[in-house]
C-alpha cells in the first residue's frame, strides 16, 4: 500500500508541477480523485485488507485524498494570484499624473465682445439689425452723400464686383436702408463685417468688424450724441471714462467728429500705445447730414439724428492689450482659448 501511495503522489506531483491553467488543474483533479482514478481503485481494494488493518489503511487513503485535493486547491490559488497580478500590472495607472484637460469650445473673442456691446445698447433702448455684406454703390456711397466724383470715395479702397455692386466698406450702408423701412423714431445698433482692399498688417486687415448706431427722432441733439458715446464707453470699460471729441469729416454727417478715450494703458500720461498723446481714437460719429435723411425719405426740417461707428477689433485690442489684428483670423487655439 505504501508503495502504491508513493507512486500515486509522485505521478500526481509531476503532473501538477507543469499545470499552467485552471482547466489543467481540474483535469488532474478528475484524473486522480475522480471515480475512475487511482484513489477510488485504492478505496475499492480496501475490502481485500484484513479487518484489523482496514481502519489504518482507510485513513491512509483518506489522508492521501485530502492531501491531493489540498494541493490542487493550493496550485489553483497560486495560479489565480499570478494571473490576477499580471492583469493588474497591465492595468497599472499612475494616479499622480495630472488629469487630461478637455477642450471646451467657446464663442470667438469678436462674438464675445459684440454680445457685450449689444447688451449695453439694448439696455439703452436700441434694437439690433443687420445689413448686407454685398451691397450696391447706392447704399454704400451714393445715398450717404458721396457723389460719384466725390474725393471721399478715395478714402476707402473698395472691392468691386461690378460698377454697381461691391463688398461694403463700412456698416454705414445700413443707414438709408433703416430709414426706408423703419418707423420713426429709429434707434438701432448694427454689428457686422466691413471690407477694404488694404495691405494686411498688425494694424489693418482686409476685413474687420464694425458696429454702427443710428438714432433719429424729433429734436435729437449733438449733446445726445456725446452723452450716448460717453455712457457706452464707460459701460464697456466698467468705469467712468474721460472722452475727447475732435472735429472730423465724413460726407454723411455734419458736423462730424472723431471720439477719443483716455489711454487705458498709461492713464492718459502718454505711452507707446497712445503715441504719447494720452488719448486713443475709438469712434467716428456725427449728426446725420440732411442729404442722407432726404435719401431715406425723412424730412430734415422735422427730424434730426446722429450716427456713430466703431471698430470692434480695435476695441477688443484695447480691452485686452492685443497688439496684432491678424490674431483674430488665424484660429490659433493658444490665442482663442484665453477668452
For the CB of residue 331, give the shortest distance to ligand DAH in the complex, in Å. 26
For the CB of residue 264, give the shortest distance to ligand DAH in the complex, in Å. 22
For the CB of residue 214, give the shortest distance to ligand DAH in the complex, in Å. 7
Distance set, CA 333 to CA 12, 121, 254, 327 (Å): 68, 30, 44, 10
Minimum CB distance to ligand DAH smaller for 172 or for 228: 172
For the CB of residue 159, give the shortest distance to ligand DAH in the complex, in Å. 14
Q: What residue number has its CB nearest to ligand DAH?
A: 284
Exposed / middle / buried, residue 270 (Cβ in 10 Å: 0-12, 13-18, 19+): middle
- Torsion sign over Cα 232, 236, 241, 247: negative
Q: How far apart are CA 292 and CA 138, in angstroms?
A: 11
Minimum CB distance to ligand DAH smaller for 46 or for 152: 152
For the CB of residue 206, give the shortest distance to ligand DAH in the complex, in Å. 14
Minimum CB distance to ligand DAH smaller for 42 or for 325: 325
Any idea which residue has 464697456 for its cell?
236
DSSP assignment string, 186-250:
EEEEEEEEEE------SS--SEEEEEEEEEEETT--HHHHHHHHHHHHHHHTTS---EEEEEE--
SS3 assignment, position 30:
helix
The three three-digit cell numbers of residue 205, written as one number = 486687415
Minimum CB distance to ligand DAH smaller for 57 or for 285: 285
Minimum CB distance to ligand DAH smaller for 8 or for 307: 307
Minimum CB distance to ligand DAH smaller for 29 or for 209: 209
For the CB of residue 96, give the shortest distance to ligand DAH in the complex, in Å. 56
Asked, as a colleague might, if the bond just before 255 is cis with ω within 30 of 0, I would say yes
Minimum CB distance to ligand DAH smaller for 29 or for 314: 314
Q: How far apart are CA 197 and CA 205, in angstroms?
A: 8
Terminal Cα-to-Cα distance of the chain (whole angstroms): 88
Minimum CB distance to ligand DAH smaller for 33 or for 283: 283
For the CB of residue 286, give the shortest distance to ligand DAH in the complex, in Å. 4
For the CB of residue 175, give the shortest distance to ligand DAH in the complex, in Å. 7
Instruction: Confirm if 152 and 251 have CB atoms less than 8 A apart.
Output: yes
Query: If we measure between CA atoms, which residue out of 131, 147, 132 comes closest to residue 190?
Result: 131
Rule CB under 6 A: which residues touch ligand DAH?
A: 170, 172, 212, 250, 253, 256, 284-286, 307-309
Amino acid at each position: 500500500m505504501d508503495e502504491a501511495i508513493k507512486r500515486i503522489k509522485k505521478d500526481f506531483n509531476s503532473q501538477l508541477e507543469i499545470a499552467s491553467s485552471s482547466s489543467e488543474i481540474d483535469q488532474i483533479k478528475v484524473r486522480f480523485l475522480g471515480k475512475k482514478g487511482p484513489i477510488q481503485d485504492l478505496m475499492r481494494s480496501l475490502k481485500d485488507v484484513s479487518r484489523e488493518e482496514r481502519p489504518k489503511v482507510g485513513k491512509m487513503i483518506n489522508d492521501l485524498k485530502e492531501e491531493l485535493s489540498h494541493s490542487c486547491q493550493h496550485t489553483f490559488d497560486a495560479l489565480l494570484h499570478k494571473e490576477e497580478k499580471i492583469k493588474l500590472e497591465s492595468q497599472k495607472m499612475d494616479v499622480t499624473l495630472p488629469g487630461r484637460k478637455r477642450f471646451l469650445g467657446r464663442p470667438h473673442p469678436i462674438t464675445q465682445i459684440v454680445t457685450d456691446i449689444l447688451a449695453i445698447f439694448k439696455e439703452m433702448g436700441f434694437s439690433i439689425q443687420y445689413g448686407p455684406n454685398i451691397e450696391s454703390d447706392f447704399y454704400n456711397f451714393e445715398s450717404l452723400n458721396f457723389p460719384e466724383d466725390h474725393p471721399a470715395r478715395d478714402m476707402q479702397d473698395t472691392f468691386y464686383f461690378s460698377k454697381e455692386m461691391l463688398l461694403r466698406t463700412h456698416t454705414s450702408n445700413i443707414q438709408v436702408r433703416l430709414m426706408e423701412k423703419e418707423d420713426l423714431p429709429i434707434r438701432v445698433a448694427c454689428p457686422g463685417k466691413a471690407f477694404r482692399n488694404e495691405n494686411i498688417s498688425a494694424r489693418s486687415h482686409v476685413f474687420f468688424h464694425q458696429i454702427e448706431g443710428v438714432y433719429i427722432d424729433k429734436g435729437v441733439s449733438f449733446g445726445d450724441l456725446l452723452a450716448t458715446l460717453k455712457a457706452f464707453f464707460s459701460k464697456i470699460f466698467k468705469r467712468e471714462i474721460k472722452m475727447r471729441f475732435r472735429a472730423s469729416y465724413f460726407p454723411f454727417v455734419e458736423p462730424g467728429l472723431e471720439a477719443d478715450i483716455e489711454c487705458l494703458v498709461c492713464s492718459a500720461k502718454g505711452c507707446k500705445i497712445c503715441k504719447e498723446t494720452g488719448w486713443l481714437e475709438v469712434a467716428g460719429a456725427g449728426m446725420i447730414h440732411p442729404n442722407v435723411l432726404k435719401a431715406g425719405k425723412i424730412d430734415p426740417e422735422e427730424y434730426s439724428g446722429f450716427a456713430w461707428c466703431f471698430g470692434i477689433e480695435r476695441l477688443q485690442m484695447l480691452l485686452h492689450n492685443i497688439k496684432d489684428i491678424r490674431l483674430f483670423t488665424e484660429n490659433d487655439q493658444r490665442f482663442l482659448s484665453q477668452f
